[in-house]
Every structure is written in structure tokens, then in C-alpha cells.
């Protein structure tokens, strides 16, 4: 069955796409620095740009993205049959993220959340398996002996993400390739115009944004507490 393209939501998607891309880059820089002094650049509906130094902007943009996700029709069938807390796999996620220079534990966790909702036994109708929904070709490439073993699945999925990031040097495009395949990305010279793939990329980036916003909030709270003391 051919993929459906996004039309009604394309303008909203493009606007939030740019803002989110800037925000994710900002967050990587902000963590470990004085985030309260960083400047966020956003694209307005009328095509003009504006800046904001308030962290409240992050929460508002996250809410806008969540609302957008609710508007876009979902074409991907969730592979998860039950929800498992991410704490069960936190050690694997952290240790695996430390093995790669170009992906972080937050990226890995966001992909797992979007792919399987932390269901280690997830199996999609297309044959994707485990926490990171690995296709048979990926399983073969990385020589997994048990695709449903959380550690093996996370390590192989993360290695694939790292490979794609090395190939494209762009997180959104790498995520699109993880979802739709390298052939589709090559055909459209970027993120394919598939509603499933665009929705997938937004959801993963939104998860990353949420995770890093929590870190910034925690850091800000610690700074405020330190000043108060």
C-alpha cells in the first residue's frame, strides 16, 4: 500500500519542524551551560523571526508540537502491546549511549519510546522486532542471537542510528531513514513526504525535547536552590 502524503498539515509541520530543529540543537548546547541566558530563534506564522530567552518558550513549543501530533492522522500501527517503565532498561540505554560519539541516551530512549513504548517483546505487522523495532536485515547486519534480548536490541538499534547519523550528519534525516529506509530518503533527497515518517520524526524529536527540558528544569531548580542557600 503506498504511503499517504501530508498536505493539510504541511505548513504547520514545516513551522514546528524548524523550531524543533533549532530547539533540539539549543538544548544540546544548553545542557551543562547557563541555559537561562541562551537565545531561542523561532519562525512566526507570518514568516518573520523572533527571539526569546525565556525557558517558558520551550514548554510552549513542546505543547504546540503535542497538539500538532494529535492533529496529524496516524498511519503507523503501534507495535507495543503493553507499557513497561523505561527504568527497566535505563542501565542498558545509558551504557549504550556512552559507546557512541554521535548519539546520546536521550536519543536512544526517545526512539524506544516511539517505536515500542518500552515493550521488549513488541512485534509489528511489518516484522520489526523488540524495543527498537529492528527489521530482519538489521538483525542480520549486527549478528544478534536474540532480537528480543533488551541489551542486544538496544545495542544494535543504537549502532544503526549511529551509522545513519554518520551517513547523513543530520538527526531528523537519520530518524527518517531509520523509519522509512535509506532508499526513500535518497529518492526524496531528504525526509520523505510520508505522513507516517514525518509524524514519526516529530514524535521522536518531541520526546528528546521533553527529556532535555526536564534536565534543564532540574538544573535551573538546583541553581535557584544554590542561590537561595
Pick from 129-143, 144-158, 212-226: least confident: 212-226
Give this prediction's pTM: 0.66
| Terminal-residue alpha carbon distance, the chain | 62
For the chain, domains (ranges, CATH) are 76-193 (1.10.530.10)
Mean pLDDT of 9-31: 52
Q: Given pLDDT bands bounded at 50, 70 and 90, which one contains residue 215?
A: confident
In what helix (H) or strand (E) does residue 52 lie, and over which residues does it extend? strand 49-52
Backbone angles phi, psi at 115, to 5 degrees: -75, -50
Grid cell of 226 as nine digits: 544554590
Catalytic sites, residue numbers:
115
- pLDDT on residue 34: 44
**pLDDT above 70 for 25:** no
pLDDT tens digits, one per residue of 35-79:
444 444 444 555 555 555 545 555 565 566 656 555 555 444 444
Nearby residues of 169 by Cβ (< 8 Å), 6 or more positions away: none
**Alpha carbon 193 to chain centroid, angstroms:** 18
Q: 120 pairs with which residues across the strands? A: none
pLDDT tens digits, one per residue of 193-204:
999 999 999 999
- pLDDT on residue 220: 73
What is the spatial distance between Cα 150 and Cα 148, in angstroms, rounded to a whole number?
6
3-state SS class at 76: coil
pLDDT tens digits, one per residue of 69-120:
555 554 444 444 444 457 889 999 999 999 999 999 999 999 999 999 999 9
Give the residue carrying C-alpha cell 523488540: 130
- pLDDT on residue 61: 57
Amino acid at each position: 500500500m503506498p504511503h499517504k502524503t501530508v498536505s493539510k498539515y504541511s505548513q504547520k509541520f514545516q513551522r514546528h519542524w524548524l523550531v524543533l530543529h533549532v530547539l533540539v540543537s539549543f538544548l544540546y548546547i544548553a545542557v551543562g551551560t547557563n541555559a537561562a541566558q541562551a537565545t531561542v530563534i523561532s519562525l512566526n506564522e507570518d514568516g518573520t523571526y523572533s527571539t526569546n530567552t525565556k525557558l517558558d518558550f520551550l514548554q510552549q513549543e513542546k505543547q504546540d508540537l503535542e497538539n500538532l501530533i494529535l492533529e496529524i492522522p496516524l498511519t503507523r500501527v503501534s507495535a507495543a502491546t503493553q507499557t513497561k517503565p523505561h527504568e527497566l532498561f535505563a542501565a542498558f540505554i545509558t551504557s549504550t549511549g556512552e559507546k557512541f560519539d554521535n548519539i546520546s541516551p536521550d536519543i536512544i530512549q526517545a526512539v524506544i519510546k516511539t517505536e515500542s513504548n518500552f515493550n521488549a517483546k513488541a512485534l509489528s505487522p511489518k516484522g520489526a522486532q523488540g524495543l527498537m523495532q529492528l527489521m530482519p536485515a538489521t538483525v542480520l547486519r549486527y549478528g544478534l542471537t536474540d532480537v528480543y534480548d533488551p541489551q542486544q536490541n538496544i545495542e544494535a538499534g543504537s549502532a544503526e542510528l549511529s551509522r545513519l547519523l554518520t551517513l547523513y550528519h543530520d538527526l531528523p534525516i537519520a530518524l527518517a531513514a531509520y523509519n522509512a529506509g535509506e532508499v526513500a530518503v535518497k529518492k526524496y533527497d531528504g525526509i520523505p513526504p510520508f505522513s507516517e515518517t514525518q509524524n514519526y520524526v516529530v514524535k521522536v524529536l518531541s520526546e528528546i525535547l521533553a527529556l532535555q527540558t526536564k534536565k534543564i528544569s532540574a538544573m535551573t531548580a538546583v541553581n535557584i536552590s544554590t542561590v537561595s542557600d
